[in-house]
Amino acid sequence: MRVLFDQGTPRRIRSHLPHHQVSTTRENGWSTLQNGDLIRMAEEAGFDVLLTTDTSLPYQQNLTGRRIAIVI
């Protein structure tokens, strides 16, 4: 499973996901993207999960029909 950590997600969580391919928005060059663009890019890149600490994301974005799981 491909997991993307958004900015603010503690990177130490990565060590608890040893069987998954984990990368960060910074590693992908996406640290300046707004939420809508970030979700679109992550889906296009084949990520399965976006892990974020942004609790307002569901209120800012229409998540209906997304192919990526978003965990807050």
In the chain, where the domains are located: 2-71
Q: What totals of helices (H) and strands (E) does the chain contain, helices first?
A: 2, 4
Query: What own/partner pairs with CB < 8 Å and gap ≥ 24 does 26-35 have?
Result: 28/4, 31/7, 35/60, 35/61
Query: Does the pLDDT of residue 10 top 90, yes or no?
Result: yes
pTM of the model: 0.92
Written as one letter, the residue type at 18 is P
Q: What letter does residue 16 receive in the DSSP assignment?
A: G
In Å, the largest CA–CA distance within the chain is: 31
pLDDT of 16-69, one tens digit each?
999 999 999 999 999 999 999 999 999 999 999 999 999 998 888 888 889 999
Question: In what helix (H) or strand (E) does residue 38 lie, and over which residues does it extend?
Answer: helix 35-44
Model pLDDT, residue 33: 95
